[in-house]
Amino acid sequence: MNPNHRIIDTLTHIADSYRSQGVPYKYKAYRTAIDAIRSLGTQITDVSQISSLPGIGKAMVDKVREILATGALQQEKDVMSDPITQAIQTFTSIHGIGPVLAKKLVHENALRTIDDLEASSHLLPPQARLGLKYAKDTALRVPYDEIEDHLTYLKKVVAKLVDPMLQICVCGSHRRGGATSGDIDVLITHPSSSSDSGSEYVFLHVIVGVLRDVGYIIDVLAEGTSKFMGYSRLNPSLPVRRLDMRWMPYDVFFPALLYFTGSDMFNITMRVEALRRGYSLNEYGLYEIPGYEHLHHAPAKGAEGPPAGAAKGKRVFVDSEKAIFDLVGMTYVQPPQRSK
């Protein structure tokens, strides 16, 4: 357990309330601060330990000071005790219900609970009705070992019924070693695939079809050529789980694997280091930025590299995550250490 779990949990409750109310800039500010505090690794006993961390301003320092002094945060108490706020958070946790619809359901239709929603499901659009159908299951966190069982099953079925050369990884907090995850995020590629050709995108459609035929995928939220969103279950004794599968051609697979593994704070650090060396890094690749020297050593002190919005040039092929670390001048960090 993180030594600062009380602070992290408290700030997470506030962040979630802003997300459910449709205030993304405040949600993002809290998430940035939470990631910075989580990365410390040592117990915070005085706010001087966090005042210089990136993403933590005076207002956030004051909140942490209150938690340290009183063991709680009045803002969290207000959020957790307000039935309107709690109802909006409950509704926005259901796939297909955003802040605008959640507020309408609460304020105009006087709904407060999942049972209320089920009795008034005619008020919901199709995707939200599907989200509501599995809401009680998907509210449960997915244990690490269960996700490993999903991964083993997916690899076995896909290798047998589609193509044994397909590569499948689970990303997100699971790959970082998290004890539980909110859903199952899968990344798929094939060594012979390339982003220069669209023919490989047929793989995802075939994979989804096979997984539906064997009863693993039980409902579909959305399906395209490169992304699937839906619901899966290993067996009837287990809860239904949210499943996202994304197809990435092999020449962009490792930047995607890096990006979708996270954490958000770690990805920001990687992008900043890439820019300092004349590269642009995102989930679709590592790109040379025209007009800037591409350094394979530490840049001069004070050098910032091109601006974040600089035009991208040629994509650099990488055949591993470590190759990306090498190019941006960073020591390779194992996934479980990327949350720290």
Residues 6+ away with beta carbon under 8 Å from 182? 141, 142, 173, 242
Q: What is the pLDDT of residues 17-32, one digit of tens each?
A: 998 888 999 999 999 8
* Domain map (residue ranges) of the chain: 5-138, 142-248, 262-339
CATH of 142-248, one of 3.30.70.60, 3.10.20.30, 3.40.250.10, 3.30.460.10: 3.30.460.10
Question: Which CATH architecture describes the domain 5-138?
Answer: Orthogonal Bundle (1.10)
Could you tell me which CATH number the domain at 262-339 has? 3.30.210.10
Q: With 0.85 as the threshold, say if the pTM is over it.
A: no
pLDDT of residue 79: 86
Q: What is the pLDDT of residues 101-134, one digit of tens each?
A: 999 999 999 999 999 999 999 999 999 999 999 9
| Continuous H helices in the chain | 5-20, 24-38, 58-70, 74-81, 83-92, 99-107, 114-119, 126-133, 135-138, 144-161, 172-175, 202-213, 253-261, 264-276, 321-327
Q: What is the pLDDT of residues 34-55, one digit of tens each?
A: 988 887 878 999 999 999 888 8
Catalytic residues: 63
